[in-house]
Structure 1
Amino acid sequence: MTEQAETPKILDEISKSNSAKASSRISRKQQTARRRFVVVLAILFPIIAGVLLLGYQQISVQSQLAQMTVDNQQLTQNLEQQTALIRELEQSQLRAPEPIEFDDSALLELESTLIQEVDRLTTQLADLQAQQLRSTNETDREWKILEAEYLIGIASQKLQLEGDVATATAQLERADQALLDSGSANVFAVRQAIATELQQLRNIEELDREGVYLQLDNLLAEMQGIDLLNSMRTDFESRRNAESQPLTLGTDANGYLESSLKFLSSIFVWRKWEETPQAMLAPGQDELIKQNLRLMLEQAQLALLMRDNALYQQAMAKSQNWFQRYAVTDSEQGRAIAASLSQLGGYDINPILPGLSQSLSLINQLTASER
């Protein structure tokens, strides 16, 4: 009976636990979703604000242009009305059957007034056209400067995040051309900074990463066929067996001594090495050494892709040490591989690149002053 009474309680506790876990998971998912929404909103807010600001400026410029167009049309209509009035007066004078004597002082005064009015309207029209042209030029100048700011930012990102010197150089050249096309007299300092940084980028010797990777790949393929010091020991033993002679014992004392010396010489072979080997491999260790050399070269390839110069130099130094220690380096193949390893070890796969801080600072100051 006690077990039957406790069973509903246990089931109730299990259901509460499951519901609590489910609610906890739902709460975590909701919190994650809120964080993502806040991050997306924080990223999009400056972009939306910039677009709205540009739209507002464009609308303001268009409204000013529309107002100037309306004023221009009104002035043109007034001018046409005055011209039509003058023509009517001239035609009325021509239609007169006979000259009538009258005081033309009022007409002369009216003509003088009309001429002055026409001159004033012509001057005002020229001023409006010049103002419209200046407004258009100012808008183009601002857009060119903003374009240069954007291109310099792209060049900085390509240089610092990707190390792409060629793309950064091209973007800086486009930014310099945009500043030149702006026609502004305030871009000299920015263009001077861009010229200095362009020269620094052009002086950088760009590394052929694809070529270095292919050279490492070729060395990986050649590592399987290299000769290790174990083959030197095999040659030595073969030569010793070939030079050994069967032992023949004599009957006299001198014969015993000579036979003993020959016996000892057949056991202990004295050989003068041209160079002392650094290591002699145990039987069956060849594949392990070759596998380690391949792993070191693969580590260098990975470091090349990651632009980790410290890891690349470490892997290349280890591979050179292992090759010098365990491989036969006096053969043609050994000398070629050693030269390739030395050449690849001398590359700096992640050189220090110049920053574009001066250009960025000056272009930001210029855009701030133009607003």
Structure 2
Amino acid sequence: MAESGKKTKAASSPDSKSPATVTPNESDKDTLSLEKGSNAKKFPLIKVMVFLILLLLVSGAGWLGWQQWQVQARQSDQLALVTMELNEQLKRSATVDSAIALTRRNQQEQADLFIKKINDLQLQVTAQGARIAELGSTSRSDWYLSEATYLARLASQRLQTERSTKNPIALLLQVDAILVKLDESDLLAVRSAIAEDISRLRLAGEVDVEGVILELNALSRQIDQLELIEFATKEASVSEKSEGTALVGTEEETLSQRFSNLISEFSQGLSKLIKVRQRDRPIEPILLASEEVVVRNNLRLFLQQAANAVLREEQDIYTISLGGAQEWLTTHFQMNPSSTLLQDRLAYLEKKNIVQELPNINRSIRALEAFLVVRESRIIGVLENDPVLDSEPTRP
């Protein structure tokens, strides 16, 4: 409608050449030119409007984006804060869980400890009841233990007084047999101590004091049967006596007897012509006949000194006495088979050890006494003094 109006105004404007001279082509051109002019005027306005619209759109989009970014930033901050709080809560919950687990473990340990202590107390109460029941009367085991203790002490005493290991070994074996009859596991340590004492006694050996003394006494009684070195006066009297008896006998004997006597007299005379004397040692003066008793008593005195040394366990005196006896025997007595046998026995006895080793066997006594003390303390002990009752459980 505007264009038609504009066309009408153009057609009716006075500035136009003339209506009669205007052709249809010209009118179309004018119309086109007018449209172009109007279009040229409208185009910058459209640009501006489009630019403004775009600017408004961009500004709005930017503002909306900035607002959205702010919202997202706040949300991310809140999310981070929530995540941090959640992590802290998880840490606290983990700590609480570990504390709860530790508490449960401690409670379980305490419960196990209480159960164990209750069981121990029950066993102790049962044992205490049995031991308290024994207070009123002496039991069979008490008699056996008293007897075993007495025998162990007697073994130690006999070892010191008799200086022999034979009887102490027998007494300790009786003690061990008594403990076997009791059949208690607590006595194993006591039996071990007794076995060690018995082994010490057996390893110490046994000196046969009685045998040595009896043999020395027997040898002393054989001294009177030994032959001393022959004296000169005795040899002369013996020869004269034999000649006198030969003269008397010749008158009464037959011819055959005379012949045998002649042969014996010839052999005796020949033996007087040849004499063998040992010169490997200094020549001792010939003793008188009255000194024979002194010589025998001196040899007997050597043997008595050796016997006394055996009783006192004096090894040096024993050896010296037997050595002196052997020297005295070879000096003043004839070395015939009896003297040689006596000298051999003296040499054998000289090598003997007469000192009896006495081990310490008090370990078995101490073990028995310790067992009795522990047993009595268990019987008369009070439960309040028990370490199980004194110890309090640790609280978590």
TM-score, normalised to structure 1, is: 0.48
> Highest relative contact order (Cα 8 Å, sep 6+), 1 or 2?
2
TM-score, normalised to structure 2, is: 0.45
Q: Give the number of the structure whose alpha-carbon radius of gyration is greater.
A: 2
